[in-house]
Structure 1
Amino acid sequence: MNSTIETILNHRSIRKFKDTKLTNEQLRTILQSAQQASTSSYMMAYTIIGITDEEKKAALAEISGQPYVKDNGHLLVFCADLHRPTHTSENFEEMKENLGNSEHFLASAIDAALAAQNAAIAAESLGLGICYLGSLRNNLAKVDELLALPQHVIPLFGMAIGEPAHQPERKPRLPLEAVYFENEYKKHEKAVEAFDKEIADYYQSRSSNSRADTWTEQMHRRFSKTIRMDVTDLVQKKGYNKR
């Protein structure tokens, strides 16, 4: 097994960081790695915003409800961005109507996610830890305002990066039998049942935050309660996903 695969397979979310800022060299390496991600039709339809202003970090931490949004080595916010190709073009009116379709919203969100995962692997290969921050979508409009984002730029998620101050156990993943099928979608209830037992044992035995829970129970809670119902409004106001 090579070192790249070892880094990927050793991933775990880090939520406690040492009080050490990333060096300029570390940050540049991470960002350059992000830029080398695959991109749909060479659009590179994303922007990465580094948050160094402590007041803005505190405001984003308040939105997320998570202290490690403020206390980390560096905070990145990944945005879908179709503003760049429009504001530099003399033919914006010809492009405007097509920008709002779901295809371009998906493509820009995927571009941002691919760049982020490259950044995550690069950071972890340098001995740093990361945590993705979907919690910034708790108040997407406020994040949009804080970052002064123009039309056709949407904040999607954040990433806290830094030197780990703890080393949590690696969290189990669904078995391959539940996520990989050949040629067509297959039934996989038994694989999920087996995983529920595995994850229940993991929660009981891990060194912190022990609890009685299963993956199926988590998903039931997740999808039984409405959350972030304002996201659609903000996305459409920014000129995305209108049809």
Structure 2
Amino acid sequence: MRLQNDMIQKQLSHRTIREFKNERIPQDKFNLLMEVARHTASSTGMQACSIIRVTNAKIRKDIADVCRQEYVARAPELLIFVLDHFRNRSIANEKKNSQEKLVGMYHFFQGFLDASLTAQNVVNAAESMNMGTVFLGSILNDSEKICELLSLPQMTFPVIGLGIGYPNQEPQLKPRMPMDLRLFENKYTCFDSYLKNIKEYDEEMQTYYDLRDANRRVDSFSNQVVSRFYNLTSKQQEILNTVRNQGFDLKVK
């Protein structure tokens, strides 16, 4: 019995693509990706996600600078998925809603989830058509700058970027942590020694070559955790300031 269908096979072979062929995505295929985005599940049906298709070369370059990844500017399609309650707040105002309450963190996370789900759905659809993709969480290196570059109004926030195109590289399949460290039943499971439990995974990661530095093996996962968990810039650490400046009430006691 064949358990894997074509979609699952694509998902199990997912690779991040950072180098694309100099080939545009046909408009009909792009439109199909946007239909997939439109039909993505949405929290309470609020559809609190919008997408900005970045075509301006200067804005692309500025976004790549924020990401500190020059290849971002060269992606055939560059999309920014935006948490968007500006639209719904405007609808409520036009309905003569008298409540002047600030939009709070429940709505923030509602829109954040909508944008995240939409981005993943678009990735699945793109890969089903033999395109490659790269998620760009690095737009949050300076969320305030991204808001400025994209003229994002109050009640919006940039969630994640996405580059799409036809692959011009074949990266190695990146090793992943075993699910016995990530799948629990009924309650969260804590381990006495995580380093002991990830020892084989640590060793496996050191056999992986990241094409961003093709001649050098990557560091162990445990060393990556230390460097990436603690070495944040001030802009990354102060991201809630941008959230507040965009009009969301943090409700911090």
TM range, normalised to the smaller chain?
Answer: over 0.9
- Determine the structure 2 residue equivalent to 1:208: 214
Question: What RMSD, in angstroms, separates the aligned Cα atoms of the two structures?
Answer: 1.9
Cα–Cα, structure 1 residues 122 and 241, in superposed 2: closer, same or farther, change >3 Å? farther
Q: Gapped runs of 5+ residues in structure 1? A: none
For the residues of structure 2 that align with 1:149 and 1:92, how far apart are their CA atoms? 23
| 1:238 and 2:246 correspond | yes
Matched, 1:198 2:204: yes
Q: Kindly provide the amino acid, as one letter, of the partner of residue 99 in structure 1.
A: V
Q: What's the CA shift string for 1:42-91, capped at 9, x where partnerless? A: 11111111011112111111221212211111100011111111112224
Aligned to 2:31: 28
**Number of residues of Structure 1 aligned to a counterpart in Structure 2:** 240
Moved over 4 A (4+): none
Deviation at 1:210, TM superposition (A): 2.1
CA distance in 1, matches of 2:201, 2:47: 37
Alignment of structure 1 residues 40-55 onto 2, 5 Å: 40-55=43-58
Determine if contact 2:102/2:248 at 8 Å carries over to the other structure: no
Aligned residue for 1:99?
Answer: 103
CA distance in 2, matches of 1:128, 1:203: 22
| C-alpha displacement of 1:134 | 1.3
TM-score, structure 2 normalization: 0.89
Aligned equivalent of 1:144: 147
User: CA separation of 1:167/1:186 partners in 2, compared to 1, >3 Å: closer, same or farther?
Assistant: same
Counterpart mapping for 1:38-187 below 5 A: 38-89=41-92, 90-94=95-99, 96-97=100-101, 99-100=103-104, 102-187=105-190
Q: Given the superposition, is the C-alpha separation of residues 24 and 192 from structure 1 closer, same or farther in structure 2, using an over 3 Å criterion?
A: same
Q: Which runs of 5+ in 2 are unaligned?
A: none
CA distance in 1, matches of 2:56, 2:27: 16
Residues 1:225 and 1:111: Cα distance change in structure 2 (over 3 Å): same
1:133·1:160 contact (CA, 8 Å) conserved in 2? yes
Q: Which residue of 2 aligns with 1:219?
A: 225
Distance 1:138-1:171 versus aligned 2 partners, 3 A rule: same
Cα deviation 1:87-121 (Å, max 9, x = unaligned):
12224542x42512x22111111110000000001
TM-score by length of 1: 0.92
Is 1:82–1:108's contact at 8 Å kept on the other side of the alignment?
yes
Q: Give SS of 1:97's match.
A: coil
Superposed displacement of residue 203, structure 1: 4.4
Q: Secondary structure at the match of 1:70?
A: helix
- Identity across matched positions, percent: 32
What amino acid sits opposite 1:194 in the alignment?
E
Corresponding letter in the other structure for 1:184: K
* TM-aligned CA distance change 1:208 to 1:186, over 3 Å: same
CA contact (8 A) 2:10 2:128 kept: yes
Distance 1:30 1:212 in 2: 33
